Structure 1
Amino acid sequence: MNTLLHQPRLTADELLSALRVLFPQTQPTRSTTTAGVEVVSVLVASDRVRDVWDEWRQKHGETGWWPFVGGMSPEGLTRDGRLHEGVDAAFLENMVAEVVCQDHDARAASIVLASFLWLTDSGSLEQGELEEWLDEYDPDRLAPRLSPEIAEPLPGVPRWVLENPKPWEARDQWWLHFVPARGGYEVPVMLPGLIMTGNGSTHYLHPADDAALLRRWHEQWGAELFFASGPRMELVVDRPPLDPRSAAQAATELTGYCDDTVDDARVAGDGMARSTMWSLWWD
């Protein structure tokens, strides 16, 4: 049977065996979604999880399994009806085919445009605000308002895993999940519902939309999916844009994707967009 699903180099059993040798105290485990996607998971100490994730993402070419950090257990990822209701093998095949074949740059641009049109059509704009929103969504208009090019990326500011701002949510361990995927950009498709983009006051996105933007950011700026859990996501960015025009492009795309977090494109263009970590949250 021909399939566009990614075929990892290691089997789930081989990956699980390797993790059990490296993490004998935490009992690595595996689970399977209703669509047949296998997930291999291990608990990792909070102060080590970034280093362990980085080590295994460097091994992605050898394993074919993409690692990401999350708070949900593997059973919750694969058996929670909210995440996988109606997602069977045929549905998954169709979604992956869409992601593999789509023009992700064009789809990413359409997502930003749809976000802008949603705002302008919502009837919430007052007189004169349209020009202000154009400044937020048009990178050519935004770029002149940003700071000059910087020599080095800004240090990333993690919000969820490494420096949780809410002490009562602090935890000693996080789950490191492995999914058979070509890259982190495929994870939202392999695990639909993992990332809860949108809410009652904004436009909703399809997993293929998430994949389009994540793949574009991966190719343009080396952004890699690091953390995903419900309405929270973090990307580690290896080559963030440093000049005003590129930073403006990234900031407008971040605004269109997640205006709950990026509600001021100028601030984002001078800050998060030029940093080594993009932390997003949907209200």
Structure 2
Amino acid sequence: MTRHSKPLTVLLTDPTGGTPGLGLPPGSLVTETGDGPWHEPLLWVADGTAMPGAWARYQPVRDAVGLRPVLLQDESGIEEWWVGELHPGMMSDPGDHRAEDVLQSLWESAVSDAEEHQEEEDAAEAIAPFTGRWPGLASAGGAPVDPDATAGDVADGLIGPWLESPRLALVPVGRAADLPAAIGWSGPVNHESDVARLCAVLRSWEDRFGARVVALSHARLDLSVAAPPRSPDEALAVAAEHFAFCPDNVLQGYESIRLYAEQALPGNAHWTFWWD
């Protein structure tokens, strides 16, 4: 698993028992429960609700001690879902998977599921102009603005309108794309039980579009995107990947890949995914 080489307790404490100049607010360490192999805490979570600016404020700890910030949101009355719900031992390593292989497999499964649960004509319309054959990866986005600055802006925009009571968390992980698998997040379990496979896709989006994992909820993922698609053709190609990655985004939100591409993607620096 792609975790930091130093335990979280070492990264967050010095010999005197304090934090190494991070100025962290009151918070606590979260450790996996059950029979998993991790004996060290998985992440640190602030006690209080995050305010705008929190994500950007603690982003420098990534370079200082190898911790990456992420917002964690309670939703639907679920109290602190991350306590007892994180199982990294069940995940493989994102580096073991190729993004295109993962997306092709998920595409074929999503198309098959659409065909099974819809009339033939409706299923064809939902994935048009594509067919059951995987269309391949979208081209990389244009020259991105600063991905970290974009991530901070998206995080601030999420607090309040999208996330009512997010907590700031810090996770020892080498790259943001690996964060969900590193903590053993199981939000998409009904779609993909091994989140490391989805993290392989996140790595590819990180490379092609300057994407960053900004927030996690019980079954939702929010990304910032520094180089989103601009043209209709670019958006359509990316929409096909999103359909494979999270069919609910398309079928329950926009009904078709074409509409999703037109309405949700062009120039949008915030990608959000949720799994039913």
TM over 0.5: yes
Structure 2 residue corresponding to 1:6, chosen from 3, 8, 27? 3
Residue 71 of structure 1: aligned partner? 73
The one of 246, 252, 269 aligned to 1:276: 269
Q: Which residue matches 2:149?
A: none
CA deviations 1:205-255 (Å, max 9, x no partner) are: 421232122222111111111110111221111111112332112111112
TM-score, normalised relative to structure 2: 0.72
Counterpart of 1:177 (choices 169, 181, 192) is: 169
Give the counterpart letter for 2:66 in structure 1.
Answer: G
Please, which runs of 5 or more residues in structure 2 have no aligned partner? 136-140, 146-152
Q: Which of the residues 96, 114, 120 maps onto 1:119?
A: 114
Q: Which amino acid aligns with 1:272?
A: A
Give the percent of matched residue pairs that are identical in Structure 1 and Structure 2.
Answer: 18
- C-alpha RMSD of the superposition: 3.9
2: CA distance between counterparts of 1:209 and 1:14? 27
Classify 1:180/1:235 alpha carbon distance in 2 versus 1 (closer, same or farther; 3 Å): same
Shift of residue 280, structure 1, vs aligned partner: 2.0
- Does residue 36 of the first structure (1) align with residue 34 of the second (2)? no
Q: Which amino acid aligns with 2:54?
A: V
Give 3-state SS (helix, strand or coil) of 2:188's partner: coil
**Residue pair 1:158, 1:279 contacting (<8 A) in 2 also:** no
CA distance in 1, matches of 2:9, 2:189: 33
1:103 is displaced (CA, Å) by: 1.5
Relative to 1, partners in 2 of residues 1:130 and 1:239: Cα closer, same or farther, differing over 3 Å? same
Match of 1:231 in 2: 219
SS of residue in 1 equivalent to 2:247 = coil
Q: Identify the structure with the greater helix proportion.
A: 1
Q: Is 1:266 the counterpart of 2:258 in the alignment?
A: yes
Mapping 1:141-220, distance limit 5 Å: 161-164=159-162, 170-171=164-165, 174-192=166-184, 194-197=185-188, 199=190, 203-220=191-208
Count of matched residue positions in the alignment of Structure 1 and Structure 2:
247
Please tell me whether the aligned partners of residues 2 and 178 of structure 2 are also in contact (alpha carbons under 8 angstroms).
no
Relative distance call for 1:15 and 1:245 in structure 2 (3 A) is farther
1:68-147 equivalences under 5 Å are: 68-71=70-73, 77=82, 79-80=83-84, 82-84=85-87, 88=89, 95-96=92-93, 99-120=94-115, 122=116, 124-135=117-128, 137=130
Note closer, same or farther for the CA distance 1:7–1:196 as it changes in structure 2 (3 Å cut): closer
- Deviation, 1:11, is 5.2
Instruction: Report deviation, 1:59.
Output: 4.6
CA contact (8 A) 2:155 2:214 kept: no
| Residues in 2 aligned to 1:139 and 1:222: alpha-carbon distance in whole angstroms | 29
Unaligned runs of 5+ in 1: 143-148
Specify the code of the residue in structure 1 equivalent to 2:121: G
Between the aligned partners of 1:19 and 1:37, the Cα distance in structure 2 is 19
Match of 2:241 in 1: 253
Q: Name the SS for the 1:261 alignment partner.
A: helix
Tell me: CA distance 1:11–1:242, structure 2 relative to 1, closer, same or farther (3 Å). same
TM-score normalised by length of structure 1:
0.70
SS at match of 1:41: strand
Is the Cα contact below 8 Å between 2:240 and 2:257 reproduced in 1? yes
* Residue 30 to residue 179, structure 1, CA distance change in 2 (3 Å): same
Alignment CA distance shift 1:63-1:33 (3 Å)? same
Rounded Cα–Cα distance in structure 1 between residues aligned with 2:27 and 2:160: 22
Code of the residue aligned with 2:96 in structure 1: it is C
